[in-house]
Amino acid sequence: MQLYLQIYTLIDATHLLIFHSYFRWLVLLIMLVQILWIYINYKRNIIFSAKDFKILLLYTLVFDIQLIIGWSLYFNSMLVEGFWADIAKGIKNRQLRFFGLEHMSMMNLAIILINISTIRSYFRINTTYGFKKLWNIYIWIYLIILSSIPWSFSPLTSRPNFR
């Protein structure tokens, strides 16, 4: 019970933002490992096995956790609240528009596509084109994610790499 209470007090915008920010590095690491895994297996014409599907599920879980943290943050963020309070003004403000609309929609699109691709891969178990199909879609998904992160060096909306 006490543990639940402790966890509950940690669920505020500040803690969620720190968690979301650091979890991004795990997401990026997974992206790097996953894209190499997909590419090497695709180039070697390796059959997409049931074991590979389970590995893919684990990768997808990491993205889904970031999605859940992202949505929890979305409903607690002052920036997002500011955006929805006056949309006409919010849309003209780069920071408010980015977190209220752009970041949320692009990351959701990417993670929905990841989940759809994972489900579709189930039907490609024991085929040689399983990894090829993954390669064809993941390269685009990764571009969406990489371009929607508020990098510290971004001229558009920048945030510190480490909080």
Residue 46 or 112: the one with the smaller Cβ distance to ligand HEM is 112
Of 38, 56, 96, 104, the one binding ligand HEM (CB under 6 A) is: 104
Q: Check residue 144 for interaction with ligand HEM (CB under 6 A).
A: no
HEC letters along the chain: CHHHHHHHHHCCHHHHHHHHHHHHHHHHHHHHHHHHHHHHHHHCCCCECHHHHHHHHHHHHHHHHHHHHHHHHHCCCHHHHHHHHCHHHHCCCHHHHHHHHHHHHHHHHHHHHHHHHHHHHHCCCCECCHHHHHHHHHHHHHHHHHHHCCCCCCCCCCCCCCC
Binding residue count for ligand HEM, defined by CB under 6 A: 27
Q: Check residue 24 for interaction with ligand HEM (CB under 6 A).
A: yes
Q: Check residue 103 for interaction with ligand HEM (CB under 6 A).
A: yes
Of 37, 39, 53, 71, the one binding ligand HEM (CB under 6 A) is: 71
114 in Cβ contact with 121 (< 8 Å): no
Smallest gap from residue 102 Cβ to ligand HEM (A): 10
Of 20, 56, 59, 118, the one binding ligand HEM (CB under 6 A) is: 20
Give the footprint of ligand HEM on this chain (CB under 6 A).
Answer: 17, 20-21, 24, 27, 63, 66-67, 70-71, 73-74, 77-80, 99, 103-104, 107-108, 145, 149-150, 159-160, 163
